[in-house]
Amino acid sequence: MVQYRYTDKATCPPGEWRYKHPITGLLLKHYDYRAFIKAYVNHCLANNIVLTGDWEDELISEMCIQNGWGKLCKPVSLDKVVRRKLSLQAVLSFLNMIKSWAMQVLNGRAAFVSQEEAERRANICAGCPNNVTLQFSCGACMGGVMKLIHGVLGDRKTKNDYALGACLVCSCELKSAVHVPLDVQHNGLNDELKNDFRQITHCWKREGL
């Protein structure tokens, strides 16, 4: 698997920063990098598209592939599962996606998996090295995360809740993720993340990929 890194973000590439989103089809473009990134994040949040901990690096890699910027893009080989950075933005994007889905469940379909299945998943995550503590320095930010978790789960819990934080592969918030059907979570994963999960033989999230 090959990713690309742009050599100098302070330098605008030929023809401006450009990216066509593969899910929505929207073409985003701007000469200012910060303005471009802000527009991208807002577009993802508005369309319930999950941002990973390394979303910015992944975006730049995809732009290099789409636009053919040549020597401005440096190839980086990835031969194993990537432990990504945990960011508040990524965690919130996952929770917003799940909350939006849960509120739209129709026709009597069960919004969540059985308690037995949630316990099985939680037990696996509790002992996984990619499970990290969910902590952010800003109290208000953490409060926002907890409010979203309650909005998604209500009173649902598992015996291992005390040991669940967030996943360093996809940045999902695990207390919520263990209760949500796999097809919903798979819809929020790009091809790179799906490939990573296929390589983690003990992970329940690889099932059905």
pLDDT tens digits for range 21-68: 988 999 999 999 999 999 999 998 888 888 877 788 889 888 988 888
Distance CA 36, CA 30 (A): 5
Contacts of 19 (CB under 8 A, 6+ apart): 27, 28, 29, 36, 40, 59, 62, 63, 66
CA geometry: angle at 123 spanning 118 and 125, to 5°? 95
How many domains in the chain? 2
| 7 and 46 housed in the same domain | yes
Q: Mapping DSSP to helix (H, G, I), strand (E, B) and coil, where does residue 100 land?
A: helix
Indicate the range of 46-50, 54-58, 102-106, 145-149 predicted with least confidence.
102-106
Same domain membership, residue 202 and residue 128:
yes
Whether 176 has a pLDDT exceeding 70, the answer reads yes
Is residue 82 one of the residues assigned to a domain? no
**Same-domain status, 106 and 189:** yes
- Residue 160 domain-assigned? yes
pLDDT band, residue 76 (cuts 50/70/90): low
* pLDDT over 80 at 123, yes or no: yes
Q: Which residue has the higher pLDDT, 193 or 76?
A: 193
- Mean pLDDT is lowest, of 37-41, 77-81, 101-105, 198-202, for 77-81
The reply to whether 202 and 114 lie within a common domain is yes
Please give the residue range of the domain that contains residue 191: 88-206
Asked if residue 176 belongs to a domain, the reply is yes
Is residue 37 located within the same domain as residue 127? no
Among 44, 77, 110, the domain boundary falls at 77
Pairing of strands 131-132, 166-167: antiparallel
pTM of the full structure: 0.56
Distance (Å, whole) CA 87 – CA 168: 10
At which of 77, 109, 142 does a domain end?
77
Q: Note whether 190 and 95 are same-domain residues.
A: yes
Q: Residue 83 falls within a domain, yes or no?
A: no
Instruction: For residues 184 and 160, give the distance between their C-alpha atoms in angstroms, rounded to a whole number.
Output: 22
